[in-house]
Amino acid sequence: MAIERTLSIIKPDGVEKNVIGKIIARFEEEGLTPVGIRMAHLARHEAEGFYAVHKERPFFGELVEFMTRGPVVVMALEGEDAVAKNREIMGATNPAEAAEGTLRALYATDIGENTVHGSDSAENAAIEIKYFFSDVQLFSRG
Ligand code: DAT
Ligand code: MG
């Protein structure tokens, strides 16, 4: 296993529920260290660009509406096997199917409002981190 980086987003529902701290604490406890953090209220074009891969899906409009509803917390997380580890901590896309104790089982209400985003591959993680962070906004934690 290698040290990797992944992109995590605490979505508007997570921010609204006041679980930013709990989510970041969980990542730290599980060995995923933030190397970049910022809050953003995404503009429509930013949410559309981020989720461009889903633009033909029937839920795309709803997804963009939701992601622009309020501020999000965007993080680059670093750790062993970070991409898979983050997906494991998040749980399944549909919270009804998410394993007990995962972030989506704990905090999400439905498939459309599922509290957290996590990159699905190392390749997409690199693209997604670049989408939100410039080099000077990322830090090495050794
Ligand atoms: P994930 O976020 O687990 O990577 P995804 O990439 O398939 O899931 O989809 C991106 C987001 O789109 C997902 O977090 C919530 C929304 N979404 C996916 N499938 C959906 C559906 N069937 N109905 C409504 N929203 C959906
Ligand atoms: Mg995805």
78: CATH: 3.30.70.141
- Domain of 73, in residue numbers: 3-135
- 118 CA to middle of ligand 2, Å? 7
Q: Which of 59, 83, 120 to mutate to test the pocket of ligand 1 (most atoms within 8 A of CB)?
A: 59
Q: What contacts 47, CB < 8 A, 6 or more positions away?
A: 63, 64, 67, 68
Residue 141 lies in a domain: no
The protein residue whose alpha carbon is closest to atom 14 in ligand 1 is 93
Q: Cα(130)–Cα(123) distance, rounded to whole angstroms?
A: 11
Binding-site annotation, residues for ATP? 11, 59, 87, 93, 104, 114
Binning pLDDT at 50, 70 and 90, where does residue 1 land?
A: confident
pLDDT at 141: 80
Residue 97 lies in a domain: yes
Q: Whole-structure pTM over 0.90, yes or no?
A: yes
Active-site amino acid positions: 117
**What ipTM score was computed for the predicted complex, to two decimals?**
0.98
User: Could you report the per-residue pLDDT of 22-77, keeping only the tens digit for each?
Assistant: 999 999 999 999 999 999 999 999 999 999 999 999 999 999 999 999 999 999 99
The total number of structural domains that make up the chain: 1
pLDDT at 121 over 80: yes
